[in-house]
Structure formats: structure tokens, C-alpha cells
Amino acid sequence: MSLYQATASAPVNIACIKYWGKRDTALILPTNSSLSVTLDQDHLRSTTTSRADASFTKDTLWLNGKEEVIKPGGRTAVCIEELRRLRKVAEDANSNEPKISSFKLHIASYNNFPTAAGLASSAAGFAALVSSIAQLYSLDKVLSASQLSLIARQGSGSACRSLMGGFVAWQAGQLADGSDSLAVQVAPREHWPEMHALICVVSDAKKGTSSTSGMQRTVETSPLLQHRINHVVPQRMKDITAAIQARDFPTFARLTMQDSNQFHAVCLDTEPPIFYMNDVSRALVQLVVEYNRAAGEVRAAYTYDAGPNCVIYVLQKHVKEIANLVVRFFPLAETFKDPFALFASEKIGELAVP
Ligand code: DP6
């Protein structure tokens, strides 16, 4: 008897140019393109095992050991159905392929970091889910990562960027069916190995406003978002791509900080306003600004997603300097686990500066 099972793991990605807003909520088509860095260490990953078996009576998902309901027509169901449909096409085309598309699936997923704490858990989660079922169905041999990103996108928009390593763009696309809204690799990790990301965990509590509901409120109420979509992001995507290609850190860093600022500005411009950053987040912004000012050059870039946690992009030669500063001004933080890893994680806690 054959065992039909596959395990895949996917890391978190942290956006430099933020995705915020959908033009189609069912297909998850964004209002603007975005660009992120996929973290490549072991600390922030989802690992998913999928198994198909004739004896299973329904598709079942466990997240960190707890069974989650798979809502019919919901995001998980859409991803599973699309992968199953593609498997069926392959089975119909090749009679040697075992007929497993009719079997129900058991899927177990595990995050090694807090879920929904502004650490892009849904991105890693759906990327790992899609990868593992794609492997189980041998679709990874016939579809590219970009093609699979079309499916992961329908699980969670940012998930499409976690299927590739390095620097990844999600092209918003123009078509109504979403077939051109996919992720492409701008540069592999090896292109800029000196790039590091320090993850400063300000809080690992679950966030108040989910990205999904927050961004739609912004689409409906924020005039600033229209300006961002039409007049800011298109140029920023070009500029940051060029900066990455030229390994121009000051430009990369400036654009990253500007885009984080504008993302949080459109949140503030939403009715009612959404606040993701807190006092500790803002103190970390000041620390980075002061650090760059004192250095006389841009050596570090902060960025914040839909939560208070800070990610600091920094080149390897300056990791220790900025890590030491964070620890000095936030004494509740212990020494970073590994300052020379791509990222280090430590809970910063409350600001303890007098
Ligand atoms: C602030 O991908 O979580 O992290 O598509 O509704 O699942 P859904 O939203 P999600 O939004 C991520 C928003 C962000 C910015 C980014 O990662 O680009």
C-alpha cells in the first residue's frame, strides 16, 4: 500500500513596499504591487504535512495541534480545491498517475512563532500548505513557484511572496481573473547576502484589527490610499527594485522606511483609525533615526506590519552595533539570540528608559 504524504516548510516574508488593500476580495487581488524579503533562517517558519488517503471522510486541518474548521468556499478550501483540480487534470492526462485527487486530505500545520502577532504567520502558513499539497500531488514538478503563487495568493495575499526566497515582488496585475497577479523573484538571497533583518518582538499578543478587515476599511474610507496606489507605489516599486539590483542600501532603507510610514499613515487615515504601532514601536523608530543621524549615513531601516513588532533591515557589518543599541535602550530585552543570523528575535517588552 502506498503512502501519499508530503511535508513542506515556508518562511515568513517581511514587506518593504506594503500590500494594503484589495480590488477583489474573493480572488485576493491587491490594489497595488508589493515587495518583500523572505527570511531564510529557522526561527519563523510554518511546516505543513499533507496526507491523502481513501479512508479519510473529510478534509481536516490542524493548526498547531488544534483542529480548525475548513469553511466551504473559505480560503483554505479554495486552495485545496484548486490544487485538487490541477491534480485531477494530471490524472486524466496520464493513466499511470495514482488516482488520489478523489481522496480527502489530512493537513497538519505548525508555526514555530506566535500566530497573528504581526509576524506574517498567514503568509508562511498558506505558503507551506500550498507547497505541501503541491508536492503531495506532484504539481511542484510541472508548475513554477510563480504559478503556485497564484494559488497561495488566494489563501492570504502576502503568502504568494513566501514561495520564493530572497527579494520577491508581488505584481498586482490587471486582469479581472487574477491570472497575472503573482509573485516573481527580483533577486535571490545570494545576490545580497550581507542583508540582515532583526526582528524586535515588542508584543506577541494577537493583534486587534486583522489585516483582512483593516485593509478593506482603508479601501472604503481613506482618500490617502488612492494617492498611495496611483502616485506613490508604482515609482517606489521601480526604485526599490533598482536599489536591490545595485545593492544600494541607503536607497533601499529610505524607501523601506518611507513605505512603512505611509502604510501606517493610511491606517490612521482610515475611519475609524487603525493603530498598529505602540509607544515602544515609536521609540524604536526614533532609535533608528538617531542611529542613522549619528552615523552620518543610512545604516538601518525600520519597518512595521499590522502589529507593533519592529523589523530592522541592516547590513551584516552593522548588525552588532544596532543590536547593542536596542539592548541598551530597551534593557528588558536580553541579548539577541544570534546577532549574525539573518534575523534575531527577542521580546522587547515595555520601554524601560526613564
Ligand atoms: C501589513 O496578506 O495578511 O503585512 O490577504 O487579507 O490575508 P490577506 O492579508 P495579509 O496582509 C498583509 C499586510 C501587511 C503588508 C504586507 O505583507 O505586504
Tell me which of 199, 211, 225 to substitute to probe ligand 1's pocket, judged by most ligand atoms within 8 Å of the beta carbon.
211
Q: What are phi and psi of 203, to 5 degrees?
A: -155, 140
7, 89 contact by CB (below 8 A): no
Tell me which of 16, 19, 218 to substitute to probe ligand 1's pocket, judged by most ligand atoms within 8 Å of the beta carbon.
19
Mean per-residue pLDDT for 63-92?
Answer: 96
- CA gap 320, 339 in Å, rounded: 6
CA-to-CA separations, 113 to 120, 131, 160, 252, in angstroms, rounded = 10, 19, 19, 27
pLDDT of residue 115: 56
Residues with beta carbon inside 6 Å of ligand 1?
A: 15, 18-20, 28, 34, 120, 122-123, 156-158, 211-212, 305-306
269 vs 114, residue with greater confidence: 269
Which is the closest atom of ligand 1 to the Cα of 36?
A: 18
pLDDT digits (tens, 9 = 90+) for 155-205: 999 999 999 999 999 999 999 999 999 999 999 999 999 999 888 877 766
Closest residue CA from atom 4 of ligand 1: 305
pLDDT digits (tens, 9 = 90+) for 122-150: 899 999 999 999 999 999 999 999 999 99
Which is the closest atom of ligand 1 to the Cα of 158?
A: 2
27 vs 117, residue with greater confidence: 27
pLDDT of residue 327: 79
| Of 158, 163, 101, the residue nearest 128 (C-alpha) | 163
Q: Determine the distance separating the centroid of ligand 1 and the alpha carbon of 157, expressed in angstroms.
A: 6
pLDDT digits (tens, 9 = 90+) for 92-120: 999 899 999 999 999 999 988 665 455 66
Q: How many CB atoms lie within 10 A of CB 266?
A: 24
Q: Determine the distance separating the centroid of ligand 1 and the alpha carbon of 102, expressed in angstroms.
A: 32
3-class DSSP state of 262: helix
| Of 105, 82, 57, the residue nearest 155 (C-alpha) | 82
118, 305 contact by CB (below 8 A): yes
Crossing angle (nearest 10°) for helices 279-295 and 316-329: 130
User: 342 pLDDT exceeds 80?
Assistant: no
- pTM for the structure as a whole: 0.93
Which is the closest atom of ligand 1 to the Cα of 159?
A: 2
Which is the closest atom of ligand 1 to the Cα of 19?
A: 18
Q: Determine the distance separating the centroid of ligand 1 and the alpha carbon of 143, expressed in angstroms.
A: 24
User: 337 pLDDT exceeds 80?
Assistant: no
ipTM above 0.85, yes or no: yes
Mean per-residue pLDDT for 285-301?
Answer: 97
Edge to edge, the sheet with strand 195-201 lists 300-304, 310-315, 195-201, 345-347
Average pLDDT, the chain: 90
pLDDT of residue 204: 65
Which is the closest atom of ligand 1 to the Cα of 118?
A: 4
Q: Determine the distance separating the centroid of ligand 1 and the alpha carbon of 167, expressed in angstroms.
A: 17
Q: How many CB atoms lie within 10 A of CB 296?
A: 7
- CA gap 61, 165 in Å, rounded: 26
